[in-house]
Amino acid sequence: MSESFSFWNMACQQLDRVAKRMNLDPNVHAKMRHCQRALVVSVPIRMDDGRVQVFEGYRVQHNSERGPTKGGVRYHPNVTLDEVKALAMLMTWKCAVIGLPYGGAKGGIVCDPSAMSLGEIERMTRRYTSEISIIIGPAKDIPAPDVNTNPQTMAWMMDTYSMTVGYSVPGVVTGKPIEIGGSQGRGDATGRGVATVLIAAAERLGLHPAQSTVAIQGLGNVGGAVAKFLHGKGFKIIGVTDVGGGIFNPRGLDVPALLNYARTNPHRQIKGFGGGEYVEGHDAANARLLALPVDILAPCALENQITADNAAAIKAKIIVEGANGPTSPEADEILAQQGVVVVPDILANAGGVTVSYFEWVQDLQSNFWDEEDVNRSLDRLMMRSFHDVYDVAAREKCDLRLAAQILAVNRVARAAALRGIYP
């Protein structure tokens, strides 16, 4: 990532664009351009070797006009307050475009979990939860898994918060194990949602699964699920990448075998899989993947992957953003000139937060759904939201990103107008 890149500035630029297009009330616009609350915390823990190491953690709440805030927690060496603020803003739009009664939040810790033991990660998680407990809660802010966090992380967070208040509070986080209040279908929810809107977009553009090729950047929880669902629908996956490199086969990859290999080999990577040509190195593999002559490209890794430097090389007809913020505003302009249809992140990857909402509702009611009910409700909401956005794009004669933002910002703005400003 370029040192000059600011994810927060990019998010604000996107908001400014939609505000100008909507002729948004400048007072509402000004309010949306700021995060409601940003907490920076010190996270000291005792490492396995006896020394004390202090990590920096963040929890940002962007907007609560439509309800309690919602968003994941990521553990990564490159986590910054700038990034977390931007992701919190994107979560506000994501919840609004799907119609969920949430605002946006995000959290993170600057750390390298791959260099830490399980015990160190647990102690760090519990201390972080204790530090942010003053601003989270089932009616205030509900964390969830994100990069390098998982159901076990959420279990520790839920337990720590519960011990703090003196009783069990399963609804304080989502993405938990099923045994302590998690929801069926949560693990694959984001990837399933990406695949659902990808299929809807392909249908709108007259692409048929059996004749369509796909490239997927990132084969983690999201990208892996996307590959699994699309393969099951007949799409041909010809290229994928992970943190170590990429594998390519113009005749199509054996997706079930590839996913099983990545899941079971010691390094949890695709290197060594014999079903295609392997390209060593993250940068080299991604450069090749983005330039593949495919019908559909699904970036499911980190932000700022498609930029002004590489957008012109993209040959895909459709980009479906499984990651948050993978496309820069400058790249958007280039892609539009090339006629590439971009299904934006706030719509495409909203499956995770949608099933998180289902989990939260189940926890509050102590009434849990079957996986079929979860998946059916998820598919319905994702399809409805895609067509809502598509209809706005047709009415406003704009791209899908602007249409999704118009829909989302308008919903938040209406809530803000109704609530007014306190005091």
Residue 14 belongs to a domain with what CATH number? 3.40.50.10860
Does 369 score more than 70 pLDDT? yes
Helix (H) or strand (E) holding 419: helix 400-419
- The answer on 296 and 167 residing in a single domain is no
Asked if residue 322 and residue 274 are part of one domain, the reply reads: yes
Same domain, 237 and 282: yes
Q: What local confidence, expressed as pLDDT, does residue 265 receive?
A: 86
Task: Tell me the residue type at 123.
Answer: R
Amino acid, single-letter form, for residue 138: P
400 assigned to some structural domain? no
Q: How confident is the model at residue 2 (pLDDT cuts 50, 70, 90)?
A: very low
The three-state (H, E, C) secondary structure of 355-378, written as one string: HHHHHHHHHHHCCCCCHHHHHHHH
Q: In terms of domains, do 148 and 249 share one?
A: no
- Across 85-94, 297-306, 333-342, 376-385, least confident range: 297-306
Q: Do 247 and 281 lie in a common domain?
A: yes
Q: Is 90 exceeded by the pLDDT of residue 326?
A: yes
pLDDT at 3 over 80: no
What digits encode the pLDDT tens for the residues 251-263? 999 999 999 999 9
Q: For residue 301, give the amino acid letter.
A: A
Q: What local confidence, expressed as pLDDT, does residue 249 receive?
A: 97
Residue 401 lies inside a defined structural domain of this protein: no
pTM of the predicted protein model: 0.92
The pLDDT value recorded for residue 268 is 84
* Measured distance CA(231)–CA(252) in Å, rounded: 10
Q: Which pLDDT band holds residue 4 (cuts at 50, 70, 90)? A: low
- Claim to verify: residue 26 and residue 158 sit in the same structural domain: yes
Same domain, 56 and 127: yes
State both tokens at 378: 């998820």
Question: What does DSSP say about strands 236-241 and 277-280: parallel, antiparallel, or unpaired?
Answer: unpaired
Average pLDDT of the chain is: 95
What mean pLDDT do residues 292-310 have? 93
- Give CA 287 to chain center in angstroms: 22
Only one residue has tokens 């993978």, namely 326
In a domain, 420, yes or no: no
Structure tokens at 392: 């706005």
Tell me, yes or no, whether 356 lies in a domain.
no
How many structural domains compose the chain? 2
Same domain, 304 and 253: yes
333 and 246 in a common domain = yes
* Residue finishing a domain among 348, 364, 390: 348
Rounded-to-integer distance, Cα 347 and Cα 343, Å: 7
Kindly tell me if the per-residue pLDDT of 316 is higher than 70.
yes
Q: End of a domain among 348, 375, 393?
A: 348
The Cα 30–Cα 182 span in angstroms is 37
Instruction: Report the pLDDT value the prediction gives residue 88, as an integer from 0 to 100.
Output: 97
Give the pLDDT band (50/70/90) at residue 266. Answer: confident
pLDDT at site 303: 81
The arithmetic mean of pLDDT across residues 383-396, rounded, is 96
Residues identified as active-site: 106
For residue 52, being part of any structural domain is answered with: yes
pLDDT digits (tens, 9 = 90+) for 100-122: 999 999 999 999 999 999 999 99
Q: Give yes or no: residues 212 and 339 share one domain.
A: yes
- Asked if residue 127 belongs to a domain, the reply is yes
Q: Which domain holds residue 272?
A: 189-348
Where a domain ends, among 175, 207, 223? 175
Q: Does the pLDDT at position 423 exceed 90?
A: no
User: Has residue 14 been placed in a domain?
Assistant: yes
Residue 147 resides in a domain: yes
225 and 157 in a single domain? The answer is no
Judge whether residue 348 has pLDDT over 60.
yes
**% of the chain at pLDDT higher than 90:** 91
Lowest-confidence pick of 163-167, 248-252, 288-292, 329-333: 329-333
- Give per-residue pLDDT as tens, 198-241: 999 999 999 999 999 999 999 988 999 999 999 999 999 999 99
What percent of the chain is predicted at pLDDT more than 70?
99
Q: How far is CA 58 from CA 38, 143, 348, in A?
A: 7, 12, 26
Distance (Å, whole) CA 356 – CA 71: 9
Task: Find out whether 84 and 147 touch, Cβ atoms under 8 Å.
Answer: no
**What does the radius of gyration of the chain's CA atoms come to, in whole angstroms?**
21
Q: Which residues contact 39 (CB under 8 A, 6 or more apart)?
A: 58, 59, 60, 131, 132, 134, 135
